[in-house]
Structure 1
């Protein structure tokens, strides 16, 4: 019997054990690992990105680690164009590709045909009017509102779909129009009309795909994430960030400002790195080493006596670490929402079966995670019934609403994209408070006008 060779995708929030499982499955099934992490593509950021160590990389072939620098932009399109040929080559050799990472839109770009190509002119391009074309230098000086107004003139559909404050997406839509001669809306319509397409884009690329979703109880995950940041300091985080900052902080261009500077793990430390130098790093590391790399809390710092020698910059470093912990926890929750909405509750989308694996108890890893993942893959390859059932699909409460329309709340002075978010806003306590405050203000103004008129008469 011919065994099916699946594309194995390991999803999950930061800190759930994706690297560990990817290595175990690669060794078990002779697979190769393709990293889908928007931070791990950058060179020399091993510790802060929790990149697989050199020893771990020696256990199985790895792809798309250390392939970019901030000197040039690295986008999801770059990632997709690099990853797809690797996947095809591995499948041709009957070696299962193992996609692992926390950047979900990277993973989506491989599973579905969702990105728009702009490097090739359309077959029947529109004749672009010179007034509709903007030079990069001109767009750089325009506000997001001005760019959005320009987009509304050339592509009303995209303007309705993109938030006026989302400068990156606005520029992308303008770029599509100027490079291809067709609007982004036209490209999306063509993509969605393919067999298997839906409102999110084109069809599924690989029918033989297994999705493994590593889950962890939030309170356990939060503790792990905090310990991970503390452990990074002991591994040499300061030295790594200092070397990277000194090399690239003065680099101009989108690779830095729109690439690594926007990703979690580096930007949180820029305030410290910009204010202090390597000499301060040495002092701080010596202090931390003497205290087992445990940062004192803010209250502990305030309570230190005059005899305690506190290195300059320790308070700012502490603030940076706390910020990293905060944004990492927030990001892990956003990853959960993304998977729930884009994988489990996407109406009409071709989504492979999604299997949940609980990684909360590290002592039960072998039975609860590895063995279950192995059973799922073996059953699939042998075309046998698996005792482990995939998660049931669910219906998103906004599934039947128009998600490509824009609404502006004149009371709260905010834009909302999609009917679902608009309906949520109208029912929110914040909106009701603003509405009531406006009502009281208007009532007060009317009373004042009435009193003034009475006095005048």
Structure 2
């Protein structure tokens, strides 16, 4: 088996059973679990974040769990820099790494190489102590091998943790000093986007002006590297990656997706919330709220550290009640029930979002990726037959270098042209809005606002125009062309038009479709006359 030890990745939505399968595989093959969950890295809130129990830790060592201060700031790059040496150390020792967690872009950061990453802030250092590749020892690695294992006390991390979108982790890791200078609150999104358009028009064409974080990142790439971000991303594709990221980091790994019927999964998500409440989730939230929010006498910040976990925002109104009597009152119980329903809804939506991400990212035929195998956890009574045994056989077949019984999932075929359109900024000239990609544009075109403007543009209306500028030095031929165009536009005679055009305050009232009027205004401007639309009447 030497040299064939695979890196095993377990995918799955919340409630599907991926953690159970990862634990059983690690236990069977004497492997170790690397958690890829953004919230489980923080200390505390064990119920809310669904951390492993002491009994589960005894079955297999776990890494990347419960070692960060709850208010620490962290990014996917910080996670990768901490977790990657653990994976490499396990493979060197011929121990099977089993990666499992709900933060799928954390998993991606370990599987695919990042080509645009370090040094963009002038330094490769992180406030997380990164394990040295040549001297990794088991005792140096953040792990939970027993309930009494010591955990590193990493109090501070350097980077903000936020919701990343597809492609984010394959771009840059930090917001360097130069970008912080650019991110002046007084600088509008439009001005920043124009700055990017000046230095990298291709990248500007891919980013909406309101996507301030990504716009700043691309400007930062240019200032720190001297090269356009779009050029570096194209090189990423040439080096074996695609628009989603770079080439594979490891040549030898297996991906298992624990799937579940959607209706059953929705019910599991609801029952999971009920079980968390029975285990003491509310007390856990209350204690953390008192410890980290009330003592600071500041508004609750649910964008910081572990407070991004689902639960805090949903139970905010209930947590803000100060006394037991308030919480037991009718209003308090309403807040509590609202929180329960909100948490269930958010959990179900998050599970759906995870499924969509996995389908789009792990089954994309344009990407370097090995086969993905699925097991079905819909029927708990069939867990061994439908999940565990097929997974064990798959890993064993890989170790023995033979074809597994399980068949891989088919890749999701995509329309290349449509995929390219999804990466471009598209304009709606009628509403003067921009969307990222054809899908968002189609949603906009179906919106009530757009259809109302379209009806208005195509309905004859009484439009009032005022002269704002006229070229007094027109040649006779040009003047005649202008008069002819105005006659067709207004229906007035030449003499009347000459009188009106000589008046700086000249007013014209025309019943016409607004779309035709706008086109005519452009034509008149070319002839030396600029008209301003003053008011619109439907009468």
Cα distance, 1:443 vs. partner? 4.7
Cα distance, 1:19 vs. partner? 1.2
The 8 Å contact of residues 70 and 256 in structure 1, kept in 2 or not, is answered as no
Q: State the distance in 2 between where 1:17 and 1:251 align.
A: 40
Change (3 A) 1:167 1:266: farther
Q: State the distance in 2 between where 1:189 and 1:257 align.
A: 33
Change (3 A) 1:399 1:208: farther
The 8 Å contact of residues 31 and 97 in structure 2, kept in 1 or not, is answered as yes
Aligned to 1:319: 338
Q: State the distance in 1 between where 2:248 and 2:510 align.
A: 70
1:63-84 per-residue CA deviation (whole Å, 9 max, x = no partner) reads: 1112323433111011111111
Change (3 A) 1:396 1:380: same
Aligned to 2:454: 439
Asked if residue 78 in structure 1 is aligned to residue 89 in structure 2, the reply is no
Aligned to 1:45: 45
1:83-137 per-residue CA deviation (whole Å, 9 max, x = no partner) reads: 1100000000111111101111111111111363142579xxxxxxxxx955448
1:201-248 per-residue CA deviation (whole Å, 9 max, x = no partner) reads: 210111111111111111111111111111111111112112222333
State the 4+ residue runs in structure 1 displaced beyond 6 angstroms. Answer: none
The 8 Å contact of residues 79 and 106 in structure 2, kept in 1 or not, is answered as yes
Cα distance, 1:193 vs. partner? 2.4
Q: State the distance in 2 between where 1:272 and 1:150 align.
A: 45
Q: State the distance in 2 between where 1:252 and 1:191 align.
A: 44
Q: State the distance in 2 between where 1:412 and 1:42 align.
A: 45
Alignment of 1:95-244 (within 5 A): 95-114=95-114, 116-119=116-119, 133=178, 135-136=180-181, 138-194=183-239, 196-244=240-288
Asked if residue 267 in structure 1 is aligned to residue 313 in structure 2, the reply is yes
Relative to the length of structure 2, the TM-score reads 0.69
1:163-209 per-residue CA deviation (whole Å, 9 max, x = no partner) reads: 33333333333443444444433432333321x22222210111111
Change (3 A) 1:152 1:266: farther
Change (3 A) 1:44 1:407: same
The 8 Å contact of residues 72 and 304 in structure 2, kept in 1 or not, is answered as no
Aligned with 2:9: secondary structure? strand
Higher relative contact order (CA 8 A, sep 6+): 1
Cα distance, 1:148 vs. partner? 3.1
Relative to the length of structure 1, the TM-score reads 0.81
Aligned with 2:373: secondary structure? strand
Q: State the distance in 2 between where 1:232 and 1:404 align.
A: 40
Asked if residue 35 in structure 1 is aligned to residue 35 in structure 2, the reply is yes
Q: State the distance in 1 between where 2:208 and 2:281 align.
A: 36
Aligned with 2:11: secondary structure? strand
Aligned with 2:254: secondary structure? strand
- Structure 1: give runs of 5+ residues left out of the alignment: 123-131, 285-309
Aligned to 1:356: 374
Q: State the distance in 1 between where 2:222 and 2:306 align.
A: 27
Name the structure where strand makes up a greater proportion of residues: 2
Name the structure where helix makes up a greater proportion of residues: 1
Change (3 A) 1:191 1:220: same
Q: State the distance in 2 between where 1:343 and 1:317 align.
A: 38
Change (3 A) 1:107 1:134: closer
- Structure 2: give runs of 5+ residues left out of the alignment: 123-176, 465-489, 491-508, 512-539
Cα distance, 1:265 vs. partner? 3.4
Moved more, 369-378 or 314-323: 314-323
Aligned to 1:366: 384
Change (3 A) 1:88 1:3: closer
Count of paired positions: 413
